[in-house]
Amino acid sequence: MAGQGGRITKADLLRKIEIMLRHDINLDAHQVFAKVEEFLIANEATQPVSGEGIGYVQINEERQDEYLAWENSIKQEWFAIIEEIREGIKRENR
């Protein structure tokens, strides 16, 4: 499941989440998110490294709290998306 040029797109992830929830609607958002992370890590491991666009990011330790807050906000956004998909499936099944 890869879109543009072998890359996983947001649409790919949304389809994967929907498939997981259709298989088991009782998975909580954390479980779904963990499975998506596993899927992404496994996909990255199978992709060849071309060297294009690869760079280094220097993390300023003084801004570590800011980075963690940003990461948590991204997770919260995905948790909300997962719950929206779940609710859509439930409405569809009523």
Q: What is the pLDDT of residues 26-52, one digit of tens each?
A: 999 889 988 888 888 877 666 555 555
Chain segment 54-93, per-residue pLDDT in tens: 555 667 788 888 988 998 999 899 999 999 999 999 999 9
Per the structure block, which two tokens stand in for 83? 């719950």
Q: What is the predicted pLDDT for the residue at 69?
A: 92
Q: What is the predicted pLDDT for the residue at 38?
A: 85
In a domain, 18, yes or no: yes
In a domain, 53, yes or no: no
In a domain, 87, yes or no: yes
User: Regarding predicted confidence, which is higher, 5 or 93?
Assistant: 93
Chain segment 8-28, per-residue pLDDT in tens: 888 999 999 999 999 999 999
Q: How many domains does the chain have?
A: 1
Q: If you write DSSP's letter for every residue of the chain in order, what string do you get?
A: ---GGGPPPHHHHHHHHHHHHHH-TT--HHHHHHHHHHHHHHHHHHSPP--TT-------GGGHHHHHHHHHHHHHHHHHHHHHHHHHHHHHH-
3, 11 contact by CB (below 8 A): yes
Q: Containing domain of residue 38, as a range?
A: 4-47+59-93
